[in-house]
Amino acid sequence: MYARIIGTGSYLPERVVHNADLAKIMDTSDEWIRERTGIERRHYAAEGQTTVDLAEQAARRAIAAAGLNPGDIDLIVFGTTTPDLVFPNAGAMLQARLGCTGGPAFSVEAACSSFIYALSVAEKFVRLGEAKRALVVGAETLTRITDFTDRTTAVLFADGAGAVVLAPSEEPGIISTHLHADGSYQHLLYCTGGISKGYEPGTGNRAVIRMAGRETFKVAVTMLGNSVEEALAKNKLAKSAVNWLVPHQANIRIIQAVAKKLDMPMERVILTVQEHGNTSAASVPLALDTGVRDGRIKQGDLVLLEAFGGGFTWGSALVRM
């Protein structure tokens, strides 16, 4: 038994912020942001619009694409770093919105890798027969933890949501997932505030993202390269077998480096970083839904998902659509 993706959906908040808009409020330029990251614009949630609000829209689209009703969902695994509240968990809040109460609903927190982690957890429930219609979400309002006085991170992060529905299938499906973490790198990418630890001095009692960009970049390229090779080796597949790479959208240069490792032309990479920026847990399901809805990713295609984020955490998933 396998778990198969039977529907995808995504949602971006209405407000679009261009590089030129950011250049008005900080010492940066459209040219620098495009050259160093590939980002051209991104979406920001409206005031009061929360992660669960974005997730609900993405979830409803994924459920509709699967030909189901919200009441059919019997498991929710919600990947996020920016939940609405400490508790109830974002999965439980989403479950109430969708009116599919009763089954398990929980969140998985692994920074930008949260969706890959959530997918890996949910597919096991489905594969083992413990869930029949699982909703897997990646959603963030990262602008709530963005420090707009720090140009090295403020130009990168954005808001959005993506979701997939999994169902049991005798054919693969999610072929394999590969999760990793190395907590000894936590100082290179972290958030300055938390409930138990409180706030870092000098942050004005705000929880904001801090990243050593250059160091993070190097580890990301190495670990993502290893992770995609691991997925192929585990399944004895040649690089050429993969139809589409759906990467975490942090930086176009990281994506190009991983694609090169796979001998994959950029035409076979789903690229959304230019329009979405880095939406952390939402970036992979947003890119997947983009590729599915514009007709590039077709049923039967072999798709390789990968992500890397704070922790550090990283991972990949090999999926037959």
Residues that bind ligand UT7 (CB under 6 A): 28, 32, 36-37, 112, 151-152, 155, 213-214, 216-217, 220, 250-251, 254, 278, 308-309
- Which three-class secondary structure state does DSSP give residue 178? strand
Edge-first strand order for the sheet with 313-320 is: 174-181, 313-320, 302-309, 244-247
Q: Which amino acid is at 51?
A: T
Tokens in use for 244? 């589409």
Q: Smallest gap, in angstroms, from Cβ of residue 82 to ligand UT7?
A: 13
CB of 82 or CB of 95, closer to ligand UT7: 82
Cβ count within 10 A of residue 295: 7
CB of 188 or CB of 231, closer to ligand UT7: 188
Q: Smallest gap, in angstroms, from Cβ of residue 114 to ligand UT7?
A: 11
CA distance linking residue 236 with residue 99, whole number of Å: 42
8 A C-beta contact, residue 144 and residue 87? no
Exposed e or buried b per residue across 195-211, where buried means at least 16 C-beta atoms within 10 angstroms of its C-beta: eeeeebeeeeeebbbbb
Q: Smallest gap, in angstroms, from Cβ of residue 96 to ligand UT7?
A: 30
CA distance linking residue 225 with residue 69, whole number of Å: 38
Nearest position to ligand UT7, beta carbon: 213
Annotation marks residue 248 as catalytic: yes
CB of 19 or CB of 95, closer to ligand UT7: 19
> Of 112, 178, 191, 276, which residue is the catalytic one?
112
CB of 97 or CB of 261, closer to ligand UT7: 261
- Which three-class secondary structure state does DSSP give residue 2? strand
8 A C-beta contact, residue 91 and residue 291? no
CB of 184 or CB of 196, closer to ligand UT7: 184
- Which three-class secondary structure state does DSSP give residue 245? strand
Eight-state DSSP code of residue 278:
B
* Closest of 295, 312, 291 to residue 304, by C-alpha: 291
> Of 19, 89, 251, 278, which residue is the catalytic one?
278
CA distance linking residue 160 with residue 285, whole number of Å: 10
CB of 123 or CB of 140, closer to ligand UT7: 140
Given the DSSP bridges, would you call strands 15-18 and 41-44 parallel, antiparallel or unpaired?
Answer: antiparallel
* Catalytic site positions: 112, 248, 278
